[in-house]
């Protein structure tokens, strides 16, 4: 069957081994592109056969090699006889490629480009750094202040543009978004229909993906990571079918997605939203999907999976960070850190209920509750995600469809982001988390103390020793204190220097039992920085 | 070498396969023992060679078989030319055995006994039941109210007897105890010394083990599970050597321990205390030790490992339950349940700081704080362990050496134990743990509501729906309420019946918004039971 369709498509299939590349010099090699930024997208199309089913029948990949590296990436069929290879170079200098294919027209094609230094806000893809944190490939810390707009790329153009504008004006630098459409009628479907009007799981719709890619590129230019949710349980009607494919079709979908989108530096892979609710998928399926994505993606984009009741085992080696739905874990002190202690990976509480006013208890946090959850997560050395359920005049909500941000939390999360971006470059670590649940920071250097709903009128200066870094904090160190109003977004310096006194069991009180005056209002925090 | 020592010992070693048992009828078979209770200890000794090093040179095991089962257990050398096989039968009827050995004098020995029904307080070994809970083999629920006496079996006889008496008068039904001696000079060492006075890692001291076995048996008769800690980092002086053996010696130690002790039904295996602190052991070592114990133990005794900073991955299949050191996790609402949600296994917070008065912060909980931690763990569907640091007139403390219990918590933990033992036989489950952190119980049947340090004067009756059991609780159900004073150990029935009204989103308030009067004091709880 397959052999026949390839012949019908005008291919001479290379027989053995199927993916060996032709050694014949390619005469149809496209022109060399002059230069691509490091972590930019090298994108090259090739003409090829369109008969049969190119999505299923034609295998295409390219080996890219520089003086010191070799990376193989899969290509994809982009419709209308066009095949495409995308590649994100991760080091400077000349890169060359040669294609491999089971179709002779697409095999052995070669080309090259020059990889030049990144410019502007191109810092490369985000990766795990310092165990529990993130950084761009160029080393710049990445502090995720994420939000959720599940279906924003399934909306009319003006709404999508509004979403982009809202993000531009917001502090959010990561957005969780579903790749597959769900409950509404989208502009584009990821699959095309067959003659009977039914979706064909073996034929993708390039238009759907080109639209998505445009949006991902735009997010990238705005400095927003696209945390792409690959499966979800929210399909309705004929779209239910999207998460009920057979194994081969699931794998083909994942490989097609990675081949198309993997070269965009701001892509993250979230295997699923509420994975336990996705029909007809087993625990073994999720393990397998992770492995398919991991092996298809030569760039090592972040990989996680989001839970409903059952939490996926983040110890598994293909999980780069834990993506947790649990509002309670960041609703009070001493909770968020418990998960962090289990895994040598970042913990992102991606869903912690939403700011809003709907009559469901997961969708009616006040703005201050949302902000508090971010701070509680932060001092525990974890990250938190935002969402909003307010329905706007068009009847849509930020977390459902995007559009406008209406809540009170985003401005305050911008304040938090600024605090964190001016903090330790290796992230906020919990400090003596078993006994001192209000402290995060970097031992001996920098502390955040958060008070939540408490309304202290003063705080007796005292810094706990960090058990794993016992000698980082010592007697006689000098500190500056800023009082942070996390709600009113003010930073008030305290006009005196605090000096650590003698160790008292596990804490260093200040010389003279010095006090930090506080206004007796909630949502206060302290930033305590060592003076060197 | 080894072959020679066996010859010297008067053995004819069976060569191939080494462990094949002789088919020659054994003429030296010992007399049949008349009867052994189910889950009792069948214990049979055999004379054998004493030359060479019987601990290392002689392999002995026995296959026990009933009409339907076959179980192979390892024997052990017990000194003075005596070899011993112990076996715990797990089903009624006739059991026969035949020995296997690489020494012909010990191979092919046969015998049999009758296994009769258990009597009295013999309920068999404790196993995991209902995912997050425990039960004896006969189905009786086991509610662990554990304590810790690390070195109690290394003490003078009168102290050890005092410990047993204290346990008898206490609510504790599980004791965490180190097998290997540590900081002090014990009466017995687990190894014997060589001619140079140094411990010989290849020669165990049977006297040490016989003493330990006596104490384990006594615990068993008192209804106390012996949670045996197999490695720990608290050795001093020449005992440091005990956790710095080579791999073969570690395995020999574990197999010897399991061969000697596995037949005692009240044994649990705790691979280590603060495993991360044990010198010269890697993560791979702990995985391996678990597997050695698991494969040597045909009875499936509980297996766990206790952490310091780094928590062992309880997802690993050889872990039967999580044994956690973390006082903070049970120091406030909403924390303990987070670990429980991760693992389909019981979670036992075995070390949560100790009741006491020492100047270390892990050793100065008040009695009420200790009791509160048990209740906070309980309503989260987890279990908590007790410990005490008060130093008595002999200069020893309960958790260090045993002796006398001096704290205020044990009596109150006895009250808790009685509440739990009269509660649901399948254990306390959290009820809607993400939103209702004060509730535990069994949806629709039984609820515990705990208030901790809060001092309510009344509580508006309202029961949350349990998300996984949405239909267990319905409108129109009738409930009886008891007010529990967890500190003063009183149960005060509320003299009215509460009937659930209409569902309000996720909770059922009582008809007429009925209130439960409360005294305005701390440490109160409610027991709410359905009237059928």
Give the number of other Cβ atoms within 10 Å of residue B351's Cβ.
25
Instruction: Give the DSSP per-residue string, A460-526.
Output: E-EEE-BTTBTTTS-TT-EEEEEEEETTTTEEEE-SS-EEB---BTTEEEBGGG-EEE--S-SSEEE
pLDDT tens-place string over residues A442-463 = 999 999 999 999 999 999 999 9
| Residue B246 touches chain A, beta carbons under 8 Å | no
- Measured N-to-C along each axis, helices B157-168 and B206-221 cross at an angle, to the nearest 10 degrees, of 20
Model confidence at A187, pLDDT cuts 50, 70, 90, reads confident
pLDDT tens-place string over residues B40-61 = 999 999 999 999 999 999 999 9
Model confidence at B2, pLDDT cuts 50, 70, 90, reads very low
Of A32 and B74, the structure prediction assigns the larger pLDDT to: B74
pLDDT of residue B115: 97
Interchain CB distance below 8 Å, B331 and A326: no
Tell me which chain B residues have a C-beta less than 8 angstroms from the C-beta of A334. 328-329, 331-332, 335
pLDDT tens-place string over residues B150-176 = 999 999 999 999 999 999 999 999 999
Interchain CB distance below 8 Å, A361 and B505: yes
Q: Is B120 helix (H, G, I), strand (E, B) or coil?
A: coil
> Do residues B269 and B303 touch, judged by C-beta distance below 8 A?
yes
SS3 content of chain A, % helix, strand, coil (to 5): 25, 30, 45
pLDDT of residue B358: 95
Interchain CB distance below 8 Å, B338 and A333: no
CA atoms within 13 A on the CB side of B234: 19
pLDDT tens-place string over residues B485-496 = 999 999 999 999
pLDDT of residue A242: 77
Assess whether the previous peptide bond of A17 is cis (omega < 30° from 0): yes
**Tokens read off for B277:** 């602190």
Q: Which of A286, A282, A280 is nearest to A230 (CA)?
A: A286
**Tokens read off for B518:** 């409360």
pLDDT of residue A475: 97
**Tokens read off for A170:** 């917001």
Instruction: Give the per-residue SS3 of B326-361.
Output: CCHHHCCCCCHHHHHCCCCCCEEEEECCCECCCCCH
Give B446 to chain A, closest Cα distance, Å.
22
Model confidence at B20, pLDDT cuts 50, 70, 90, reads very low
pLDDT of residue B11: 58
Beta bridge partners of A148: A176
pLDDT of residue B185: 80
pLDDT of residue A113: 96
pLDDT of residue A240: 72
Q: Where are the beta strands (DSSP E) in A273-427?
A: 303-304, 322-325, 347-351, 383-384
Give B435 to chain A, closest Cα distance, Å.
7
pLDDT at A197 over 90: no
Give B251 to chain A, closest Cα distance, Å.
27
Give the number of other Cβ atoms within 10 Å of residue B457's Cβ.
10
Interchain CB distance below 8 Å, B332 and A333: yes
pLDDT tens-place string over residues A242-268 = 777 888 899 999 999 999 999 999 999
Surface of A (434-453) touching B: CB under 8 A: 434-435, 437
pLDDT at A326 over 60: yes
pLDDT at B93 over 80: yes
pLDDT at A477 over 60: yes
Instruction: Give the DSSP per-residue string, B206-262.
Output: HHHHHHHHHHHHHHHHTT-EEEEEEE-S---GGGGGGG---HHHHHHHHHHHHHHHT
CA dihedral in degrees (B245, B246, B252, B258; nearest 10)?
Answer: 60
Mean pLDDT of chain B: 93
Mean pLDDT of chain A: 93
Q: Is B277 helix (H, G, I), strand (E, B) or coil?
A: helix
* DSSP summary character for residue B513: G
**Residue B460 CA: distances (Å) to CA of A35, B449, B484:** 70, 12, 16
Interchain CB distance below 8 Å, A342 and B341: no
CA angle B320, B325, B328 (to 5 degrees): 125
Lowest mean pLDDT, pick from A155-159, A172-176, A235-239, B145-149: A235-239
CA dihedral in degrees (A74, A75, A77, A80; nearest 10)?
Answer: 180
Q: Which residue of B has its CA nearest to A359?
A: B505
> Do residues B379 and B450 touch, judged by C-beta distance below 8 A?
yes
Cα–Cα distance for residue pair B289/B231, rounded to 1 Å: 10
What is the number of helices (H) and of strands (E) in chain B?
10, 32
First and final C-alpha spacing in chain A: 74
Lowest mean pLDDT, pick from A237-246, B193-202, B375-384: A237-246
> Do residues A346 and A386 touch, judged by C-beta distance below 8 A?
no
φ, ψ of residue A460 to 5 degrees: the values are -75, 115
Q: Percentage of chain B surpassing pLDDT 70?
A: 94
Q: Which of B311, B341, B437 is facing A341, going by the closest CB pair?
A: B311
pLDDT of residue B33: 57
Instruction: Give the DSSP per-residue string, A150-205.
Output: TTGGGS-HHHHHHHHHHHHTSS--EEEEESS--SS--S--SEEE-TTS-EEEEEE-
pLDDT at A12 over 60: no
Model confidence at A127, pLDDT cuts 50, 70, 90, reads very high
Q: Which residues contact B258 (CB under 8 A, 6 or more apart)?
A: B74, B269, B293, B296, B297
Give A359 to chain B, closest Cα distance, Å.
8
The mean pLDDT value for A119-132 works out to 97
Q: Which residue of A has its CA nearest to B505?
A: A360
Cα–Cα distance for residue pair B452/B128, rounded to 1 Å: 29
pLDDT tens-place string over residues B418-460 = 999 999 999 999 999 999 999 999 999 999 999 999 999 999 9
Model confidence at B25, pLDDT cuts 50, 70, 90, reads very low
Model confidence at A16, pLDDT cuts 50, 70, 90, reads very low
pLDDT of residue B30: 52
pLDDT of residue A186: 86
Residue pairs between chains A and B whose CB atoms are closer than 8 Å: 63
Model confidence at B235, pLDDT cuts 50, 70, 90, reads confident
Model confidence at B1, pLDDT cuts 50, 70, 90, reads very low
Is the pTM for the entire model greater than 0.90?
Answer: yes
Cα–Cα distance for residue pair B226/B242, rounded to 1 Å: 21
Sign of CA dihedral A36, A69, A289, A100: positive
pLDDT of residue A362: 95
> Do residues B97 and B85 touch, judged by C-beta distance below 8 A?
yes
| Residue A468 touches chain B, beta carbons under 8 Å | yes
pLDDT tens-place string over residues A203-228 = 999 999 999 999 999 999 999 999 99
The mean pLDDT value for B71-76 works out to 97
Phi-psi region of A403 (alpha: psi -120 to 50; beta: other; left: phi over 0): left
pLDDT at A19 over 70: no
| Residue A341 touches chain B, beta carbons under 8 Å | yes
The mean pLDDT value for B296-307 works out to 98
pLDDT tens-place string over residues A133-148 = 999 999 999 999 999 9
| Residue A313 touches chain B, beta carbons under 8 Å | yes
Cα–Cα distance for residue pair B417/B147, rounded to 1 Å: 13
Q: Which of A274, A346, A336 is nearest to A311 (CA)?
A: A274
| Residue A47 touches chain B, beta carbons under 8 Å | no
């Amino acid at each position: 069957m397959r052999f026949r369709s390839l012949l019908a498509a005008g291919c001479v299939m290379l027989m053995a081994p199927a993916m060996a590349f032709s050694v014949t010099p390619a005469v149809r090699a496209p022109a060399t592109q002059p230069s691509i930024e490091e972590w930019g997208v090298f994108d090259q199309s090739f003409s090829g056969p369109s008969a049969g089913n190119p999505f299923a029948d034609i295998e295409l990949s390219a080996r890219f090699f520089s003086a010191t590296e070799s990376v193989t990436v899969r290509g994809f069929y982009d419709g209308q006889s066009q095949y495409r290879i995308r590649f994100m170079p991760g080091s400077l200098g000349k890169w060359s490629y040669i294609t491999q294919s089971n179709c002779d027209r697409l095999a052995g094609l070669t080309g090259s480009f020059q990889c030049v230094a990144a410019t502007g806000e191109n810092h490369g893809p985000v990766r795990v750094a310092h165990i529990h944190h993130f950084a761009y490939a160029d080393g710049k810390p990445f502090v995720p202040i994420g939000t959720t707009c599940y279906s924003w790329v399934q909306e009319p153009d003006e709404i999508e543009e509004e979403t982009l504008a809202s993000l531009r004006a917001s502090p959010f630098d990561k957005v969780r978004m579903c790749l597959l459409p769900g409950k509404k009628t989208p502009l584009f479907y990821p699959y095309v229909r067959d003659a009977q009007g039914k979706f064909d799981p073996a034929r993708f719709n390039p238009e759907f993906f080109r639209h998505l890619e445009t949006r991902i590129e735009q997010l990238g230019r705005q400095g927003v990571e696209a945390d792409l949710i690959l499966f979800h349980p929210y399909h309705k009607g004929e779209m239910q079918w999207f998460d009920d494919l057979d194994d081969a079709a699931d794998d083909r979908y994942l490989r097609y997605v990675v081949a198309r989108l993997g070269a965009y530096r701001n892509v993250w892979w979230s295997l699923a939203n509420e994975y336990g609710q996705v029909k007809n998928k087993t625990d073994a399926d999720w393990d397998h999907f992770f492995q398919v994505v991991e092996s298809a993606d030569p760039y090592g984009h972040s990989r996680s999976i989001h839970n409903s009741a059952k939490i996926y085992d983040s110890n598994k080696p293909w999980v780069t960070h834990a993506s947790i739905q649990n509002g309670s874990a960041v609703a009070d002190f001493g909770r968020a850190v418990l998960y962090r202690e289990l895994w040598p990976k970042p913990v992102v509480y991606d869903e912690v209920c939403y700011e809003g006013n709907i009559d469901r208890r997961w969708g009616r946090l006040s703005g201050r509750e949302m902000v508090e959850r971010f701070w509680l997560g932060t001092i525990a050395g974890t990250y938190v995600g935002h969402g909003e359920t307010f329905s706007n005049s068009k009847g849509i909500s930020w977390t459902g469809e995007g559009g406008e941000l209406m809540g009170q939390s985003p401005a305050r999360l911008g304040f938090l982001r600024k605090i964190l971006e001016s903090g330790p470059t290796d992230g906020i670590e919990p400090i003596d988390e078993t006994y001192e649940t209000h402290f995060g920071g970097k031992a001996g250097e920098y502390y955040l103390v958060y008070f939540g709903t408490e309304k202290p009128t003063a705080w007796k200066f005292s810094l706990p020793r960090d058990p794993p870094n016992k000698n980082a904090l010592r007697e006689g160190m000098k500190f500056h204190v800023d009082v942070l109003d996390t709600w009113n977004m003010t930073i008030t310096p305290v006009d005196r220097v605090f000096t650590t006194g003698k160790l008292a069991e596990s804490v260093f009180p200040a010389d003279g039992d010095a006090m930090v005056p506080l206004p007796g209002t909630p949502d206060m925090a302290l930033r305590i920085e060592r003076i060197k």
